[in-house]
């Protein structure tokens, strides 16, 4: 469309990789539809990108790219945000929100924004949008089930059990029966209060200050949940928000905010493995495994005698848990049968025909990637939305098996071995694999012309264009 008629939207996110990735992917999708997209995030992201030289052209303001802008959270770059989350979040709420508002004022001198798109973890941005008279959309970057759970809990719509007891159960519309241990950890008493405060702020003001709730999921896997929210505050799935090449489209350059460089050598290693023969193990960008966790997984892999690709993120100062290391004898004993890396191009790995299953922490971004690639899962959830995602993957989507943890929260060697056998050669292995393939096709169709997500995206664009 002509430049003078182009619709402008402003997105805002914390600079956490799991938050930024779906925002960037939605931004690229909007750009493909002719929308001009600016993404605002914290200055620490700019510092990290410069340090790692992750994206030399990140300040490119071409209308074919996402324009990145930065604002301060009010803390110095060397402040340990992982170690003191509460102080960080309070500073973001106060100083960060003011700095973002000033940024909106400056940007509005050259562009008229039709919409500010926020994610759940920057609820203060609703107030900024309201103060500037700009319509607001929420991009829900977790599954629709989590949206429904939080909405019903924080608005006191459904009765929830005693959240101190992990064995208590709750039945919510459109979902399998959940035990308290299956609920997102941010609502549990054991979670730091700051997380519940952020979510309470979001859901308290959602109905007053948000015009659209868009979900990174897709309708076909959460149909009953989406329907159950229609009479409350509806959520409109626009996903799966994954890289377009996973859906069969041409691979394009994207803004890269990864903290680690991918190791492409693992793809060459996979090329020499038979189809559906390799176990892929990765637990995302935050979790660091303890020594016991690493030892148990290592022994299970050794005993299974299966090929494996294992991503072990190095421990960083301030990270959760005590980071473990692989014992040198394990590396020697499994040489040739396994490959251990610090990081890898996960989407390309999951696409590789050699991958048989994915041992995953069940973060939503990884969950979408495994659904789109049709890879069965061994669910190894830890916190936040991961326990609920694991429950859905196994009991609703039926594409995997779930690890049963010991009382100390770790999976025994025997339990890991059981899951490997079940997913790769058990009586339900073929059924799980076929189901994974079915959802892979459903995911692709959702974003094709006339698909459920494509319709919701077009409707959203039509409505914000009308407010231009």
The domain spans of the chain are: 3-254+447-466, 265-344+354-443
β-strands 377-379, 400-402 pairing: parallel
Over residues 153-183, the pLDDT tens digits come to: 999 999 999 999 999 999 999 999 999 999 9
**Per-residue confidence band for 46, with pLDDT thresholds at 50, 70 and 90:** confident
Tokens representing residue 249 in the block = 């489209």
Contacts (Cβ under 8 Å, ≥6 apart) of 308: 278, 279, 280, 281, 301, 334, 337, 338, 339
Amino acid 310: pLDDT? 95
Amino acid 261: pLDDT? 47
Distance between CA 60 and CA 74 in Å, rounded? 26
CATH number of the 3-254+447-466 domain: 3.40.50.2000
For residue 322, pLDDT beyond 70? no
What is the distance between the terminal CA atoms of the chain, rounded to a whole angstrom? Answer: 13
Amino acid 218: pLDDT? 97
Buried b (16+ CB within 10 A) or exposed e, 258-281: bbbebeeebbebbeebeeeebbbb
For residue 60, pLDDT beyond 50? no
Q: Which of 250, 248, 275, 279 is closest to 443 using CA atoms?
A: 248
**Per-residue confidence band for 280, with pLDDT thresholds at 50, 70 and 90:** very high
Over residues 148-159, the pLDDT tens digits come to: 999 999 999 999
Tokens representing residue 72 in the block = 């301060």
pTM over 0.85: yes
Fold match flag (3-254+447-466 vs 265-344+354-443): yes
* Assigned architecture for domain 265-344+354-443: 3-Layer(aba) Sandwich (3.40)
Please count the residues of the chain. 468
For residue 255, pLDDT beyond 50? no
State the average pLDDT over residues 387-411: 94
Amino acid 249: pLDDT? 79
Q: What residues are paired with 139 via a beta bridge? A: 214
Highest mean pLDDT among 205-219, 249-263, 399-413: 205-219
Over residues 129-144, the pLDDT tens digits come to: 999 999 999 999 999 9
Query: What is the CA 466 to chain-centroid distance, rounded?
Result: 30
Over residues 326-367, the pLDDT tens digits come to: 888 888 888 889 999 988 999 999 999 999 999 999 999 999
For residue 458, pLDDT beyond 90? yes
For residue 385, pLDDT beyond 90? yes
Q: Are 274 and 354 in contact (CB under 8 A)?
A: yes
Sheet of strand 307-311, all strands in order from the earlier edge strand to the far edge: 338-341, 307-311, 278-282, 355-360, 377-379, 400-402
The 3-state DSSP class for residue 338 equals: strand
Look-up of token digits 């979001």: 202
Query: What is the CA 204 to chain-centroid distance, rounded?
Result: 23
Distance between CA 163 and CA 189 in Å, rounded? 7
């Amino acid at each position: 469309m002509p430049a003078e008629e182009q619709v402008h939207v402003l997105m805002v996110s914390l600079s956490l990789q799991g938050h930024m990735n779906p925002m960037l992917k939605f931004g690229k999708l909007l750009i493909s539809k002719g929308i001009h997209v600016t993404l605002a995030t914290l200055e620490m992201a700019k510092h990290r990108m410069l340090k790692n030289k992750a994206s030399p052209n990140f300040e490119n303001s071409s209308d074919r790219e996402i324009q990145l802008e930065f604002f301060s959270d009010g803390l110095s770059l060397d402040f340990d945000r992982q170690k003191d989350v509460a102080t960080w979040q309070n500073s973001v709420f106060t100083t960060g929100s003011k700095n973002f508002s000033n940024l909106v004022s400056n940007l509005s001198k050259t562009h008229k924004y039709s919409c500010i798109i926020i994610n759940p973890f920057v609820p203060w941005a609703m107030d900024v949008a309201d103060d500037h008279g700009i319509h607001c959309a929420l991009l829900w970057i977790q599954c629709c089930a989590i949206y429904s759970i939080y909405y019903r809990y924080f608005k006191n719509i459904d009765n929830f059990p005693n959240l101190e007891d992990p064995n208590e159960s709750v039945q919510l519309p459109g979902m399998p029966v959940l035990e308290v241990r299956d609920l997102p950890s941010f609502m549990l008493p054991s979670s730091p209060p700051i997380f519940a405060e952020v979510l309470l702020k979001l859901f308290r003001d959602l109905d007053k200050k948000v015009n659209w709730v868009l979900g990174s999921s897709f309708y076909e896997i959460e149909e009953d949940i989406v329907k159950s929210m229609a009479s409350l505050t509806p959520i409109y799935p626009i996903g799966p928000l994954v890289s377009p090449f996973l859906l069969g489209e041409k691979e394009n350059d994207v803004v890269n905010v990864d903290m680690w460089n991918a190791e492409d050598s693992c793809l060459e290693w996979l090329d020499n493995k038979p189809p559906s023969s390799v176990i892929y193990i990765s637990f995302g960008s935050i979790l660091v495994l303890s020594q016991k966790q690493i030892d148990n997984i290592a022994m299970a892999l050794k005993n299974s005698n299966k090929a494996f690709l294992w991503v072990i993120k190095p421990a960083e100062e301030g990270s959760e848990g005590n980071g473990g290391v692989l014992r040198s004898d394990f590396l020697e004993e499994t040489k040739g049968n396994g490959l251990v890396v610090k990081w890898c191009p996960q989407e390309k790995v999951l696409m590789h025909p050699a991958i048989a299953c994915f041992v995953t922490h069940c973060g939503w971004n990884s969950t979408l990637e495994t659904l789109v690639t049709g890879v069965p899962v061994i669910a190894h959830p830890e916190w936040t939305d991961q326990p609920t995602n694991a429950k859905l993957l196994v009991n609703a989507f039926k594409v995997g098996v779930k690890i049963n943890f010991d009382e100390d929260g770790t999976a025994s060697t025997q339990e890991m071995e059981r899951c490997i056998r079940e997913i790769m050669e058990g009586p339900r292995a073929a059924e799980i694999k076929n189901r994974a393939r079915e959802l892979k096709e459903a995911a692709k169709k959702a974003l094709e012309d006339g698909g459920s997500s494509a319709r919701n995206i077009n409707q959203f664009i039509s409505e914000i264009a009308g407010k231009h």
